[in-house]
């Protein structure tokens, strides 16, 4: 090879390396955006879970405080009322809170983030567990609430929501709270699916960045994900 040929090939080689660096930078930026989006959605799911837990736990507490034995002349609640749908929301929202809290803490802990395999596993496992919990609680709520033989907490409070009450239980308020808790449970199902999708996209970007950053022709000092 002549000196002239060597001089003309060198800029081309540098250009190819620079182009690879630009692509790697772009993937790293996309990874950062995906990670931020996943964390924001996870925080939203955590907030929804906390709200569901607060609403449902308040409903159970109010029922226990105002429920009287059947031999009273004016019982406020039916003797055959099924409280399981509300309890299911309490249990499901608790699982959602724990799963999403673990996911957020793992993403903010440097020890976990430095182990990409563990970090990605938690990024998938947490929303998957939360999705199943929200789906089961929602499905159970609708299944029991559709019964024509026994009242649920929502069906009973909404039936008497227009009755003016000066003290607990305020059926109108409890009806609205019950509907809000169920609505948030329904909202959590697609939200957790979206979080799973973002986690999958983030894992794909991480593999691409790792392959590009550790390729045999990479230069020393190439950018890497934090």
Q: Could you tell me which residues come within 8 angstroms of residue 172 by beta carbon, excluding any fewer than 6 positions away? A: 157, 161, 162, 163, 165
Q: State the CB neighbour count (10 A cutoff) for residue 59.
A: 23
What gap in Å lies between CA 20 and CA 212, rounded to an integer?
A: 8
Note the pLDDT of residue 94: 96
Note the pLDDT of residue 20: 67
Note the pLDDT of residue 53: 95
Locate the domains of the chain by residue range. Answer: 18-213
Give the global pTM: 0.80
Note the pLDDT of residue 3: 42
Note the pLDDT of residue 220: 46
Would you write out the chain's pLDDT as a tens digit for each of its 226 residues?
444 454 445 455 554 556 666 777 777 888 889 889 999 999 999 999 999 999 999 999 999 888 776 555 557 888 888 889 999 999 999 999 999 999 999 888 877 767 767 778 888 899 999 999 999 999 988 888 777 778 889 989 998 988 888 888 889 999 999 999 999 999 999 999 999 999 999 888 888 877 766 655 554 444 445 4
Cβ atoms of 78 and 6 within 8 Å: the answer is no
- 3-class SS letters over 22-57: HHHHHHHHHHHHHHHHHHHHHHHHHHHHHHHHHHHH
Note the pLDDT of residue 70: 59
């Amino acid at each position: 090879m002549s000196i002239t040929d060597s001089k003309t090939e060198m800029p081309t080689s540098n250009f190819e390396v620079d182009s690879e660096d630009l692509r790697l930078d772009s993937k790293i930026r996309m990874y950062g955006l995906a990670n931020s989006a996943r964390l924001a959605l996870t925080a939203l799911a955590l907030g929804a879970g906390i709200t569901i837990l607060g609403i449902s736990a308040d409903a159970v507490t109010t029922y226990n405080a105002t429920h009287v034995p059947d031999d009273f002349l004016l019982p406020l609640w039916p003797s055959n009322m099924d409280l399981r749908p509300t309890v299911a929301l309490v249990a499901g929202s608790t699982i959602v809170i724990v799963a999403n809290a673990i996911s957020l803490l793992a993403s903010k802990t440097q020890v976990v983030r430095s182990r990409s395999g563990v970090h990605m596993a938690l990024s998938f496992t947490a929303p998957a567990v939360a999705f199943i919990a929200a789906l089961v609680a929602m499905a159970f709520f609708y299944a029991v609430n559709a019964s024509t033989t026994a009242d649920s907490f929502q069906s009973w409070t909404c039936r008497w929501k227009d009755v003016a009450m000066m003290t607990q239980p305020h059926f109108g308020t409890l009806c609205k709270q019950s509907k809000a808790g169920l609505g948030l449970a329904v909202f959590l199902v697609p939200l957790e699916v979206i979080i799973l999708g973002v986690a999958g996209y983030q894992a794909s970007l991480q593999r691409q960045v790792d392959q590009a950053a550790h390729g045999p022709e990479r230069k020393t000092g190439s950018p890497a994900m934090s």
